[in-house]
Chain A
């Protein structure tokens, strides 16, 4: 090839179907994931136009957002949610799309099951009507969230009209210290660049600290790329990736595997390739992070003090902090450590995989959660649930006093009745702390599974390193 390219450019170039001056590129999509919330209007659009789904074999649906996480043998009580779930099943049947619905052994959060089933593979373009599609970038895929109009476009044509994003290198070198996790890397990045910092860009996470992460930890990092404003975040595939994909149900096998591996090894960013922007983070300096405010960029090391609004000169920035602290019932300049917590939520497409449950269980084993705290543990998929059962994790959670539930998005988005009451505080392993995100009037502190488990034990915001 002529000039050195980033992995982002390589994937882009490999998927351009057509280019025309003055118009966006037509980009081919290798995997389209569908869920019940953002697809019904798109299927209706197909019906209105009399169109088919072009590639049902590259499309997969599951239910995750609006389904209950209670006993699955019971019907959905919420009639509106029940209708939405039934509509997805009808749509999948009518259009010939495989659907891992509520009772499927493969059901789970869409961003958990894609990688888990080996559907998400390096070098692919992956889309879903969900902004956390960025998760799949951990495998070296170009994966991003789309709106419902675009869902309709991909269903009908397997293509999207797209403009090329800018490239943004996030270099993380060094070694994470005990108690500091992948979640803390991404929360630290967003705290530094802000929730709009990556707008217009795709992140590539690089550096020794990224290489040292497991596949599931990489998913946690890429998952929250959108919280930094970037539609996608990627990590170049390496032996960790290949070992993860190998042997999964939809992964290539035999000669197809060898051919795929040869292609995947060409994907990493070339030496000398240039990024539009770069930022460096020193992993050795990171501490457990926690958010205090009403967007994911409002994060601090757990031992730090809350910002003082009066320190900010820009009036709108100052107002944001004032408004956030007021909503959260917090006072600038005070520490967050020791702040009472009502609910702990361990789950979501950010942190509901088996390693996340293991991490929380390692701290909870043989201990009791604080009786004032309601602790919910929600595995990301049926497969995670099976693996957790095989390892005896549900018993550890239940013995500690946690509520261990069925797989789904649950209290990350609070569409299904799993929610905070007005004024309640949660420490949550999810990805968004927007006002009301976990229930109207609810107040969310985002953190890692370890930090969440620590709060479950003590009933207050805690530096997990004091419990290790």
Chain B
């Protein structure tokens, strides 16, 4: 996972999953077709027309693959529709100082990289975009770095297992299934009083 992109600045703290994709769009039984619903209530007015002042509607930001957001991105519900909508729109990474736990896990399972930047570097990225909206940064998962136009680097943490899965294309469910023997033996030694619906 290695790509270069401009940064779309969304300087808002605690962006919740109800903003990323409002709950009324969760009645779908498909994973697909969610790109239009991304940030729907911020993106469109009551008639469904794009709001020109919302950043994702501005032509200059089209095609950018990195969302630069405020602290604690993705708080709220467990809906995996949030990373589905973000990736279908074209994002491959979100940079923040922190992410909500469930959103972070959901993102890593959908090849959306949640990049945690230290507060100072995070602020510097916002300053960079303000100075030069066309500035591009490079994201490299293997070396866990974001490289700035001036060559400066921001290192970011990634769970080593998630990194391995993303880089090698490992299927997590397949990985769990390889532990069949351990699962069966765990079940065999459960206390009999564990109740079931059976």
Contact = CB atoms under 8 A, between A and B. Distances in A.
A51 B28 CA distance: 22
Contacts of A37: 26-27, 79
Contacts of A195: 14, 72, 75
Contact of B183 (A17, A45, A56, A316): A17
B144 to A, nearest CB: 15
B173 to A, nearest CB: 5
Contacts of B175: 161
A131 B76 contact: yes
B182 to A, nearest CB: 4
Contacts of B75: 195-196, 229, 295
Nearest to B83: A147
B47 interface: no
Given A196-B14, A414-B23, A435-B18, A149 B71 contact: no
Given A229-B72, A295-B14, A316-B11, A436 B161 contact: no
Contact of A157 (B12, B28, B109, B177): B177
What's the interface size class on A, roughly? 35 or more
A165 B101 CA distance: 10
A179 interface: no
A163 B18 CA distance: 26
A78 interface: yes
Contacts of A28: 183, 186-187
Contact of B179 (A118, A159, A257): A159
Interface residues of B, number: 58
19 contacts: A18-B186, A26-B182, A26-B183, A30-B194, A37-B79, A55-B196, A131-B77, A145-B102, A146-B102, A157-B176, A159-B179, A195-B14, A199-B99, A229-B101, A257-B193, A422-B46, A432-B16, A432-B18, A434-B16
Interface of B: 11-14, 16, 18-19, 22-24, 26-31, 41, 46, 70-72, 75-80, 98-102, 105-106, 109-110, 159-161, 164, 172-173, 175-177, 179, 182-183, 186-187, 191-198
Interface of A: 17-18, 22-24, 26, 28, 30, 37-38, 40-41, 44-45, 49, 55-60, 65-66, 78, 80-81, 83-84, 87, 98, 118-119, 121, 124, 129-131, 145-150, 152-153, 156-159, 161, 163, 165, 194-196, 199-200, 226, 229, 231, 250-252, 256-257, 259-260, 263, 295, 297, 316-317, 319-320, 323, 413-415, 422, 432, 434-437, 440-441
